[in-house]
Amino acid sequence: MNRFFFALVLIAFGVTAWQEIRWIPGTAGDSPMQTLTNGMVEAANGSVTLSIGMVGVMALFLGLMKVAEEGGLLTVLARLIRPLMVRLFPDVPADHPAMGAMILNLSANALGLGNAATPFGIRAMKELDRLNPSPGVATNAMALFLAINTSSVTLVPTSVIALRASVGSSEPAAILSTTLFATFFSTSVAILAAKFLQSFSPVDHLTAVDDGREDQAKDRGEPAEGPSTPVEGYPVWVSTVALLVLLALIPVTILFGRSISPWVLPALMTGMLSFGFVRGVRVYEVFVEGAREGFEIGVRIIPYLVAILVAVGMLRSSGALGAFTDLIGPWTARFGLPAEALTMAILRPLSGSGAQGYLASLLQNPAIGPDGYIGLLTSTLQGSSETTFYILAVYYGAIRIRRVRHTLAAALIGDLAGIVAAVFICFWLYGG
C-alpha cells in the first residue's frame, strides 16, 4: 500500500509538472499545478464528507449484524456447512478445533463480519499448523482454506452497500444478487483449482524451512487453542436442502435481480431483527451496541480515505487517469470491462483500502455514479473479492509459513473467475 500510494502521488505530480513546464501563462483557465492543488483540496474535503455519510449506514448494518450474531445466526450457518467442510478437508479430523475455527471464519465472512472473521481465520491456521508435518510449508488444507477464504460466498457485502448509500445510490443493495452470483462462482473455481493444483506441488520433496524454531505447543503437549467444543453439524439432508436453496437463488438473481433489489434492505432489517427477537435477544440494546462499533469503524477509516482519495484526486486532476482510461478502455470495454472496472479488478487483490478509496472516487464521479453499469460492476467487484495478498501475508505470517505452494495460484484463479462472473451478471442485469 505504501508503494501504491506513493506511486499515485508521484505519477500525478510528474505528469502535472510536465504540463506546467509546457503551459503558457495567460491562457484561459488555471495552470496545471493550480488545478492539481485545487483537486487535492477538494478530494480531502470530499473524503471527510464521504466518511461521515458512511458512519450512519455502517452503524445500521453492524447493529443488525450484532443482533443476528447474538441470536446465533453465525452458529446456524456453521452447522449448515459442516457436512460439506468435512468432505472438503479430509485431512482434518472432524472433531479437531481447526474444523470449528474454519467453519466460524467462513460463516462470518458470508455475513460480512470482517472483524469477526479474521480472528477465527488466524485461529484456524494455528490449529491447522498443529497438524502440519512440515513446519514452514503450507499443507493442502491450508491452501484450500485460504483459497476459499479469499473468494468465499458473500451474502451481505456490508461496507460496499454502506458506501453506495452514502453517495446517494437509489438502490444501494442492488449488488446483493450480483455479489452472490460472483462469489459462488469464484469459490467453486477456487476449490477446483486448489484440488487440481495440489498434485503438482507435492510436499514430499520439500523439507521444513523452520526446523530450528521452538514449536512450543507440539513439543510440550499443550492443549490446542480454539473452541474446546467442536461445532456440531445438522443432518446431511438439511445442509443439502440449504445448498440447493442457495443454488436456486442464482437463477432468481439473474431473472429478477432488478425487481428484487428494492426489497432487500427493508426485508433484511425486518428479518434480522425478527430472528433476534424470536431468539430472545434484547434487540434494541444489542443493535445499539453493534451500531456503536459501526460508528467507531466509520470514524477510524477517515484518515485512510483521505489519503487514497487525495492521491486518486491528484491522478485525475493531472489527466494521467484519463489518459490511461482512454488508452485501454476501447479494448477491455469490448468484453464488458471498462477501463475503470479493470483498474478496480487489478487493485482489489493488492490493496483493500486502495480499492475502497478508488471505488469511492468512481461512485462520487458524476459521469459514473453508483447506479450506472460501471458503478454497479465496480461495486460488485469490491464486494465479491478479497485482498488476496493481504490475507495470505497475515494468515501465513501468523504461523510463519514461507512456502505457500499452490495457494497463491488457486486464489488468483478464483479472483479471475470472480471478475468474469461479475462482468457476466452485471452485463446481463444492467447492460454495458
Burial class (CB in 10 A: 0-12, 13-18, 19+), 133: exposed
pLDDT value of position 414: 92
pLDDT value of position 229: 47
Helix axes 158-166, 373-383, angle to 10 degrees: 150
| Amino acid identity for residue 125 in this structure | M
Q: Tens digits of per-residue pLDDT, 379-414?
A: 999 888 777 877 787 788 878 888 889 998 999 999
CA distance 298 to 275: 26
Q: Which grid cell sits at 46? A: 470530499
pLDDT at 188 over 50: yes
Q: Which grid cell sits at 228? A: 474446546
Sign of CA dihedral 369, 3, 37, 11: negative
Range from 13-17, 208-212, 262-266, 268-272 carrying the lowest mean pLDDT: 208-212
Whole-prediction pTM value?
0.68
pLDDT value of position 217: 41
CA distance 310 to 46: 9
Helix axes 175-197, 373-383, angle to 10 degrees: 50
Band of residue 214 on the pLDDT scale cut at 50, 70, 90: very low
Overall average pLDDT of the 174-201 stretch: 90
The mean of the pLDDT values for the chain is 79
pLDDT at 337 over 60: yes
329, part of any domain: yes
Q: Tens digits of per-residue pLDDT, 84-139?
A: 888 889 888 877 778 877 877 787 777 665 555 676 788 888 889 999 988 889 99
The helix/strand/coil state of 172 is helix
pLDDT value of position 114: 57
Sign of CA dihedral 173, 177, 180, 185: negative
Overall average pLDDT of the 207-228 stretch: 42
More confident residue, 47 or 63: 63
CA 88 to centroid of chain Cα atoms: 22
pLDDT value of position 301: 66
Is residue 198 within 8 Å of residue 142, measured between CB atoms? no
103: phi then psi, degrees, rounded to nearest 5: -60, -45
Q: Of the candidates 46, 35, 52, 34, which has an alpha carbon nearest to the alpha carbon of residue 300? A: 52
pLDDT value of position 330: 81
198-206 contacts at long range (C-beta below 8 A, 24 or more positions apart): 198/140, 198/143, 198/144, 198/405, 198/406, 200/406, 201/405, 201/406, 203/133, 203/134, 203/137, 203/139, 203/140, 203/405, 206/134, 206/137, 206/403
2, part of any domain: no
Is residue 351 within 8 Å of residue 1, measured between CB atoms? yes
25, part of any domain: no
353, part of any domain: yes
Beta bridge partners of 403: 137
20, part of any domain: no
* Count of structural domains, the chain: 1
Q: Tens digits of per-residue pLDDT, 261-320?
A: 667 668 878 988 998 999 999 999 999 988 887 777 667 667 767 877 788 778 878 888
352, part of any domain: yes
CA distance 145 to 159: 23
Range from 142-151, 246-255, 271-280, 327-336 carrying the lowest mean pLDDT: 246-255
11, part of any domain: no
DSSP string, 176-202: HHHHHHHHHHHHHHHHHHHHHHGGGS-
Name the percent of the chain lying above pLDDT 70. 81
Q: Of the candidates 334, 348, 359, which has an alpha carbon nearest to the alpha carbon of residue 427? A: 334
5, part of any domain: no
CA distances from 138 to 151, 204, 384, 397, 402 (A): 19, 12, 25, 11, 8
Helix, strand, coil % in the chain, rounded to nearest 5: 75, 0, 25
pLDDT at 213 over 60: no
CA distance 347 to 102: 27
Which residues, in sequence order, are CB contacts of 310 under 8 Å at separation 6+?
Answer: 40, 43, 44, 47
Name the percent of the chain lying above pLDDT 90. 19
- Give the range with max mean pLDDT: 190-194, 209-213, 383-387: 190-194
In terms of residue numbers, what domain contains 360? 32-430
Band of residue 210 on the pLDDT scale cut at 50, 70, 90: very low
CA distance 410 to 51: 35
Q: Which grid cell sits at 396? A: 501465513
CA distance 361 to 230: 44
